[in-house]
Amino acid sequence: MDAQHTAATLSILHLEDSAQDHRLVCRVLDKAGFQYSISRVETLATFTEAVLSGAYALILADYRLAGFTAVDAWSSLPANSLRPPFILLSGAIGEAAAVSAIQLGISDYLHKDNLAQLERVILRALDVYSAHKAKEKASLELAVSERRLSELTGYLQTAIERERASISREIHDDIGGSLAAAKLDLAWISRHEPDPTIQPHLQAATDMIQHALGASQRIMMNLRPSILDQGLFAAVQWLASSFERRTGIKTTLRATNEDLCPEKAVQLTAYRTAQEALTNISKYAKCNQVQIDISDAEQFLTLEISDNGVGISSQEMQKPDAFGIRGLHERAKTVGGWLDISSRQGFGTSVILSVPLNAEMNQLTEAQFK
């Protein structure tokens, strides 16, 4: 016998109304060398009470008892609990009934005429149960880890957005203000400087300052999209027009509701998704047309960005350094949504964000972005 089953006493609950059959089972266990303690119960009430006490690591049960069956006993246990291994020992059950019982979750079945095989059946049931417990524990730990990762992702994205807003304000207040003042001073000098040879230099300096002002405004917009105050459609429209002007790629925007105004966190998620998708298109798609669709059908915000470019292979999407795509997935989760990416090489790519327009589902994430 496996040493792991002999190292400690095996606590067994025996559901059996025959004292003679109970003694026979004990003799078989003694012969097999089990270190065990065993308690016999006959009624459904005492059986349920004993199992729920958590004191038993194994259940052996006759199939047919006074007024109920072993299947009734199994069904009386809470389905949401990890029930101990349950082995049927009976001479009054057909093969079909035994198979049906196992399909319900009962561990195994052994005819009483084959009790010599009890050791093997018990060890197998305990091994399966141990593996099941390990799987349940691993699944629980994985779920906890994923939840913590999701919370960390949400926290980091919130911190990033706040830092972006802070940098944007500093650019506006310090750099933007200084550049605007310098431009005014140059304009004053230009009006009062009589030397015509100086004017080209003043104009060049003015043009450079104007360029710097435009760059600072563009950077501020990317850092903190204040245009979202005008609504999601206006913000995505600005993104689309800027993208088309910068890349020369024809970009079309369609919306079922131009006045759509979901929660701020949802708007920001949609905006960042469109921004990242357009950035990836400009870098990798090699396309000449982009289509952006915004819909609020069936109480869902759906944002789809499609191109007619070269597409993305599944290997490229699974690359370890594909952080942009992973970031979009995680950002969607923070507002209760999800992201789908559909692509075929040579036939373009579609990035689809779906978020339920439900205040109850979004209110926690909304608080993070305030």
Instruction: Render pLDDT for 182-237 as a digit per residue (tens, 0 to 9).
Output: 999 999 998 988 888 999 999 999 999 999 988 888 887 777 777 888 899 999 99
Q: Which residues pair with 294 in a beta bridge?
A: 255, 303
CB 314 within 8 A of CB 332: no
CA 355 – CA 363 distance, rounded (Å): 13
**106: its two tokens:** 């009962």
Which residues of the chain register pLDDT less than 50?
Answer: 1-6, 360-370
- What is the structure's pLDDT at 367? 46
Query: How much is the pLDDT for 17?
Result: 92
Crossing angle (nearest 10°) for helices 264-280 and 232-247: 10
- The bridge status of strand 36-41 relative to strand 68-69 is unpaired
Check residue 73 and give its pLDDT.
Answer: 92
Sign of CA dihedral 189, 192, 197, 200: positive
Diameter over CA atoms, the chain: 123
- Residues sharing a CB contact under 8 Å with residue 115, sequence separation 6 or more, in sequence order: 24, 25, 28, 89
pLDDT of residue 82: 66
Q: Which domains does the chain have, with CATH numbers?
A: 3-139 (3.40.50.2300), 228-370 (3.30.565.10)
Following CA atoms 323, 325, 327, 328 in sequence, which dihedral angle do they give, to the nearest 10 degrees? 170
Contact 182, 206 (CB under 8 A): no
